[in-house]
Amino acid sequence: MQDLSADAGLRLLRGWHQRKLMEDFAMKSLAHVTLFVLALMPSYAFAQQSTGHKMTDEELIKLSLSAAPQAIAKDATIVAMDHDGKMRTLRKGTGQWTCMPGHADPANPDPMCGDQNAMEWATAWMEHKEPPANKVGFMYMLQGDGGASNTDPYATKEEPGNNWIKTGAHVMIVGSGAKMLDGYPRDAKADPTKPYVMWPGTQYEHLMLPVR
C-alpha cells in the first residue's frame, strides 16, 4: 500500500508540473503577442475608421485564419486588440501557433500567424532588443502585407529613400538562427516576387519567401 500511495503521489506531482508548464507557456505567449500587436494599434484603429465598419469577432477570426494554411489555422489561438488597447483572446487554441488580424483592414488585409519563437522575435523587435539566441521562428502571411521599409525596421510609412516594398503572399523565417542566409538577395530594393532578405545588416534581418 505504501508503494502504491507513493506512486499515486508521484503521478499527481507530474500532472501538476505539466499543467504549470502549460499555464506558463500560455501566459508567456500572450505577453509576446500583446507587445507585438501594440505596434499595429494606430493602423488598426485607422483601418476600422476609414472603412466605416467595426469588424465583428467572427470577421476578425475569419481574417486571422486566412493568414495560414488550414492545417495550422484550425488549432491556432486567435487574438485581437480592442480600441482601448486591451488584448482579447477571440478563440483559445492548442499548440504554439497564434494568429491575429493585422491592421484589420478588409480592403488591404495583412493577417499573420506565428509560432512561439516568432512571437519572441517580434517582441524583441518591438522593444529594440536583440532577438533570443539560437532560435528560429516561422510566420505565415498568406494574404500579403500592406508594405514596409526594407531597410528601416521601424518605418511606418513610405518615404523617399526608405525602400518601401509590398510583398504578396509569403512566409517568413525569423530569429537569430536565421543568420544562415548566404545566397539570398540582400538588396535594399528587393524583388518581392522572389525570396529575399528583409532588413539586411540589422539584427532583425529575416528571410521573406513568396509563395504565389
| pLDDT tens by residue, 185-208 | 999 999 999 999 999 999 999 999
What's the rounded mean pLDDT across residues 19-46?
A: 48
39-89 pLDDT, tens digit each:
554 444 444 544 556 889 999 999 999 999 999 999 999 998 877 777 889
What does the pLDDT read at residue 12?
52
Could you give the dihedral angle defined by the CA atoms of residues 151, 40, 29 and 76, in that order, rounded to the nearest 10 degrees? -100
87-146 pLDDT, tens digit each:
889 999 988 899 999 888 878 889 999 999 998 998 899 889 999 988 999 999 999 998
Task: Name the one residue in this structure whose C-alpha cell is 538562427.
Answer: 177
Estimate to the nearest angstrom the gap between the alpha carbon of 184 and the chain centroid: 23
- Count CB neighbours of 102 within 10 A: 24
How far is Cα 31 from Cα 107, in angstroms, rounded to an integer? 29
